[in-house]
Amino acid sequence: MDEAVFVAPGAGEIIGDSPERRVEILSDHDSLNATVSRFGPHRDGADLHVHRLHTDFFYVLEGELTVRLGPDDTPVTVQPGTLARVPPLVVHGFRNASDADMRFLNLHAPGQQFVEYLRSIRDRRRFSYDQYDPPGDGGRSPDEARIGEELFAADRPGLSVRLLADVEAIGISEAVGEPGSPSPPPHLHRRHVESFYVLEGELTFTAGGRELRAEAGAWVQVPPGMPHTFAFTGGETRFLNLHTPSYGYGDFVRGLHEARTDEELAAVRAAFDQEAV
């Protein structure tokens, strides 16, 4: 990936599109495979399975997602604005058990060629992927899954941030910015990818010399080494910010909140994989 990836709302590569189910690809990077999906009422998703090498995430955009956990197939309802994290070797599946449409993001970190697996199903060809039947011993405890976890919350003038996940493969936060909130200083990451999904409002990105206007439903992905920043240009804006791998993103978020001087801010950024440009 040499350029920033921009996927406008509804413009991702289509895996399937019918009244019962629509699936679009947002990211096909090795560090993160991501899709956005709509499931109709009572539509089944994946049956019970495990991943051995990566973590599976679900962020609910609209409606209710039912995550099925453990060999006993325990249903857990996930509400809009909530992230579900399923670690490797935890038995899980999912479905829309409600009477209404449901929309969600599905994130696999690292990617492990999840979207290639979806393409193989679409194109009716065989493809081996990091997905297996539930193991005979039941796998890891379903209690290790996390639904709606909030690791840290910070409020600064014009900006609030909630840290939702911070594992080695990925760090995820949800942020809300007010109109005119300060932009982050132009910067780059040498060793990891930064991605954004706009939930409400609008962000205007400057990345690699391009200007990208990202409205609600847009996806932006910035490769390592590319200078970038963004501005709040569409009223109050809510978005997801994803770093793959994490490289201590959680410590970075906490450090930004605790810093009181420019020198402290500079030290926090220097400790993270972030360089000013």
User: Which of 147, 168, 184 is the last residue before a domain boundary?
Assistant: 147
Examine the domain organization and report whether 16 and 96 are in the same domain: yes
Say what the pLDDT of residue 158 is. 85
Examine the domain organization and report whether 141 and 28 are in the same domain: yes
The answer to whether the CB of 182 falls within 8 A of the CB of 232 is no
CATH number, domain containing residue 224: 2.60.120.10
CA distance 56 to 19: 25
Structure-token pair, residue 225: 């080494």
CA distance 189 to 172: 16
Examine the domain organization and report whether 140 and 229 are in the same domain: no
Examine the domain organization and report whether 75 and 40 are in the same domain: yes
Has residue 5 been placed in a domain? no
Examine the domain organization and report whether 94 and 193 are in the same domain: no
Has residue 241 been placed in a domain? yes
Secondary structure tally for the chain: helices H, strands E: 3, 22
**Count of structural domains, the chain:** 2
Examine the domain organization and report whether 198 and 84 are in the same domain: no
Cβ atoms within 10 A of the Cβ of 44, count? 15
CA distance 147 to 85: 6
Examine the domain organization and report whether 101 and 19 are in the same domain: yes
pLDDT tens sequence across 127-183? 999 999 999 999 999 999 999 999 999 987 789 999 999 999 999 999 999 988 888
Examine the domain organization and report whether 85 and 159 are in the same domain: no
pLDDT tens sequence across 4-61? 999 999 999 999 999 999 999 999 999 999 999 999 999 999 999 999 999 999 999 9
pLDDT tier at 88 (50, 70, 90 boundaries)? very high
What are residue 58's DSSP bridge partners?
84, 106
Examine the domain organization and report whether 210 and 224 are in the same domain: yes
DSSP string, 209-251: TEEEEEETT-EEEE-TT--EEEEE-SSSEEEEEEEES-SSHHH
pLDDT tier at 2 (50, 70, 90 boundaries)? confident
Examine the domain organization and report whether 31 and 139 are in the same domain: yes
pLDDT tier at 266 (50, 70, 90 boundaries)? confident
User: Which of 114, 147, 180 is the last residue before a domain boundary?
Assistant: 147
Examine the domain organization and report whether 125 and 65 are in the same domain: yes
pLDDT tens sequence across 190-247? 999 999 999 999 999 999 889 999 999 999 999 999 999 999 998 899 999 999 999 9
Has residue 6 been placed in a domain? no
Task: Show the domain range for 21.
Answer: 12-147
pLDDT tier at 262 (50, 70, 90 boundaries)? confident
Examine the domain organization and report whether 129 and 36 are in the same domain: yes
